Amino acid sequence: MKLYDGGRAPNPRRVRIFLAEKGITVPLAEVDIAKREHKSAAFTTLNPLQRVPTLLLDDGAVISESIAICRYFEAVQPAPALFGRSALEQARVEMWQRRLEFELLGAVAAVFRHTHPFMVELEVPQVAAWGEANRAKVESFLGLLDRHLADHEFAAGDSFSVADITGLVAVDFMRLPKLPMPAGLYHVQRWHAAVSRRPSATA
């Protein structure tokens, strides 16, 4: 088994944190995005979408998409449960994982990919107006998240889950396009500090 990893990029970090929470060690193969190694012919054979992380299993099967890789390990080793246990828990984790991925991580990524000089050759075409439009989406969703976290310890309720991993990575990723944390979001700050203190956060 081998996990094709992408260093500091947010999606590879999501999977590394997930594995750290599970206590699972997987051999990593570094893919240097700055050197466009994810665009090579060899890597494209593994993942035609040319993205990391990508998991290669011992029988040659390939799984890409961060959350698909996480689900593989959740099924192989269910404890600790990071996708919920009961039907309602599973649905709540999925709902908040998706909200945090689309409304926050996706919006932060859109600002970065469409406005940052580093991405000129990787995001074609860069549409600056689309990047700028996502700044308001980030701020709006963080306000909604703050109201939610006023009544909930973690993103999906009482237990730490994969939704918190996506949220943590998204908030930390805001630094790259220099997105400010809006003032007064005390519940987001409390939650972010708590999940950042977990040993997995350094993965």
Name the residues that contact a copy of itself, by CB under 8 A.
Answer: 48-49, 57, 61, 63-65, 67-69, 71-72, 75-76, 86-88, 90-92, 94-95, 98-99, 103, 125, 127, 129-130, 133, 144, 147
Nearer to a copy of itself, 76 or 193 (CB): 76
Report the C-alpha gap between 62 and 60 in whole angstroms.
6
Strand ranges (DSSP E) for the chain?
2-5, 28-30, 54-56, 62-64
Cβ 7 to a copy of itself, closest distance in Å? 22
Report the SS3 class of residue 73. Answer: helix
Question: Which residues, other chains included, contact 170 with Cβ-Cβ below 8 Å and sequence gap of 6+?
Answer: 10, 100, 101, 104, 105, 108
Least Å distance between CB 173 and a copy of itself? 17
Taking the complex as a whole, the smallest distance from the CB of residue 196 to a copy of itself amounts, in Å, to: 25
Residue 129 or 183: the one with the smaller Cβ distance to a copy of itself is 129
3-state helix, strand, coil in the chain (%, to 5): 55, 5, 35
- Asked if 30 and 54 count as a contact pair (C-beta separation under 8 A), the reply is no
Minimum distance, C-beta of residue 92 to a copy of itself, in the bound complex (Å): 7
Q: How many CB atoms lie within 10 A of CB 201?
A: 16
Which residue, 41 or 61, has its beta carbon nearer to a copy of itself?
61
For residues 33 and 82, give the distance between their C-alpha atoms in angstroms, rounded to a whole number.
Answer: 28
Q: Which is nearer to a copy of itself, 147 or 178 (CB)?
A: 147
**Nearer to a copy of itself (CB atom), residue 133 or residue 201:** 133
Q: How far is the CB of 6 from a copy of itself (least distance, A)?
A: 17
